[in-house]
Structure 1
Amino acid sequence: MDITEQIEQLEADLQELGSLLEKAERKRVQELLKQEQKKVEKELTTKRQQKEQRTKREADPSASSKAGYTVKITSYAWDQSEKFVKIYLNLNNVHKIPLENVETDFTERSLSVLVKDLDGKNHQITILNLLHPIDGKDSYKKIKTDMVLIMCKKQTTKKWECLTAVEKQSKEKDKPNVDGTADPSDGLMTMLKKIYEDGDDEMKRTINKAWSESQEKKIKGEGMMDL
């Protein structure tokens, strides 16, 4: 059923609902009919808008490329279930454009989304270096009111700490080194700095005193401060 037929069916539904509403005498029945009437009216408005946009594109196929330009989607939210990683893209009125205008591409470690001709612009996001592999053939999109939901199928059911490997590396870089693989003094200084910043005046005086004594020992060749 093409969009013109869908509109005709919705118009017929709306007309019949109106007739039933005129005949209904019970208040509860009237309320139910009014609710359904509003739902049909909303769906009909959306379909008419889609048809209008399609007619414009067919009349001038180059119109969208002339008027539109591509902007990057810079913000998103993500969540996960046992089997999927879910990415939420908030885009006003995205539910009003044709479904085929929202294109997705998945690889084992990346995804991209291109939303074409939304309010005169194209919207695009690419996320690379996913933390774990996904199954592209079982990943898909869902269009909701003012939102695109991307469902990335996990290859394994393990819980993701973050969305990308880059984020994980950044978090690990910010952690104090306590495993002895780097210069021990770097980890020591990081911990001392945190203790100093979080401590009270007495703690800060104690650390300052210990540091001063340590520096004096180093100058005299007595080594690092003894903790």
Structure 2
Amino acid sequence: MASQKIEELTLDLAELNAISEKLERPRNIDAVLLQKKRIETEISNLRAQVDTFSKATQIRVANNEVKRYECEISNYAWDQSDKFVKFFIGLDGVQNSSEESVVVTFSCNSILLKVANIQNKDYKFEVNNLLYEIDVEKSYRKIKTNSIAIYAKKATEGKNWSHLTTTEKRLADIKKHSLEDDLETNKDDPGAGLMKIMQKMYETGDSETKKMIAKAWTEGQQKSLNPDLQF
């Protein structure tokens, strides 16, 4: 091996250095200096080979690492008690994850869950614009068999959440206020009235609102094509 060869040459060089200190004859001195130069060159070349091999190995290992992709979790259930808003997220095999790889970041009005490396995939679950504030310090999560439960502590205990987010509530309010007028305007075609409401909410809504409307529209289209389909 190159490393072993370098060790042997280093010992040879040390011995020549010791000998050269005792030499007096010019011819002998020149011969030792020449040999030392040859050994030093050989050591330098071997070290370069070792460095090249090491870098190649690192690149090969890096290229062979399995790339992980982040998957966004969109299917979940939520419930509430007087003290908590609870989220239930199904995720196969999560019970085998370490505590450090299942992280929930709470803010007063948002929740971000990140799960690392389950079958070479990372997962993310995010809820923004919560309807009311939560108590960050008293919120927590539990890892269960094939699922994660998140307990968001209500900042105001006993307060009922009619919706999960301000976006959902805004959608419901817009729909409520617009429904009668638009349906009255389109009495002969109620479907057109509903479409007009959806279009109005999409045009005036924020990114979260638009995402929810797009999802509802897609599910509605799939449902009309397959009435037995469950969401």
TM-score, normalising length from structure 2? 0.50
What residue in structure 1 maps to residue 183 of structure 2?
190
Q: What does the per-residue CA deviation read over 1:35-85, in whole Å, with 9 as the maximum and x for residues that have no partner?
A: xxxxxxxxxxxxxxxxxxxxxxxxxxx89x743221111111100010000
Q: Is the 8 A contact 1:109 1:134 kept in 2?
A: yes
1:72–1:196 distance in 2 versus 1, CA, 3 Å: closer
1:114–1:188 distance in 2 versus 1, CA, 3 Å: closer
Q: Is the 8 A contact 1:176 1:191 kept in 2?
A: no
How big is the shift at 1:187?
A: 4.2
Q: What does the per-residue CA deviation read over 1:169-204, in whole Å, with 9 as the maximum and x for residues that have no partner?
A: 111111145xxxxxxxx844535757986xxxxxxx
Q: Distance in 2 between matches of 1:176 and 1:94?
A: 43
Q: Distance in 2 between matches of 1:188 and 1:137?
A: 45
How big is the shift at 1:131?
A: 0.3
1:156–1:194 distance in 2 versus 1, CA, 3 Å: farther
Q: Is the 8 A contact 1:131 1:165 kept in 2?
A: yes
What residue in structure 2 maps to residue 205 of structure 1?
none
**CA RMSD between the two structures:** 2.8
| 1:73-92 correspondence runs (5 A) | 73-92=73-92
Q: Distance in 1 between matches of 2:160 and 2:78?
A: 13
Consecutive unaligned residues of structure 1, counting only runs of 5 or more, are 1-61, 178-185, 198-227
Q: Distance in 2 between matches of 1:126 and 1:191?
A: 38
- Kindly indicate whether residue 110 of structure 2 is the aligned counterpart of residue 110 of structure 1: yes
Q: Is the 8 A contact 2:66 2:120 kept in 1?
A: no
Structure with max Cα Rg: 2
| 1:1-227 correspondence runs (5 A) | 66-157=66-157, 158-177=159-178, 187-191=180-184
1:118–1:192 distance in 2 versus 1, CA, 3 Å: same
TM-score, normalising length from structure 1? 0.51
Give 3-state SS (helix, strand or coil) of 2:105's partner.
Answer: strand
Q: Is the 8 A contact 1:131 1:164 kept in 2?
A: yes
Q: Distance in 2 between matches of 1:128 and 1:196?
A: 36
Q: Distance in 2 between matches of 1:123 and 1:86?
A: 19
Give 3-state SS (helix, strand or coil) of 1:171's partner.
Answer: helix
Q: Distance in 2 between matches of 1:87 and 1:189?
A: 35
Q: Distance in 2 between matches of 1:97 and 1:137?
A: 24
Give 3-state SS (helix, strand or coil) of 1:67's partner.
Answer: coil
Q: Is the 8 A contact 1:139 1:152 kept in 2?
A: yes
1:196–1:120 distance in 2 versus 1, CA, 3 Å: closer
Q: Distance in 2 between matches of 1:132 and 1:102?
A: 25
Give 3-state SS (helix, strand or coil) of 1:75's partner.
Answer: coil
Most deviating of 187-196 and 81-90? 187-196
**Identical positions, percent:** 34
Give 3-state SS (helix, strand or coil) of 2:117's partner.
Answer: strand
Give the letter aligned to residue 85 of structure 2: V
1:188–1:67 distance in 2 versus 1, CA, 3 Å: closer
Q: Distance in 1 between matches of 2:143 and 2:69?
A: 22
Q: What does the per-residue CA deviation read over 1:98-142, in whole Å, with 9 as the maximum and x for residues that have no partner?
A: 122101100000010000011111101111100000011110001
Q: Distance in 1 between matches of 2:162 and 2:187?
A: 25
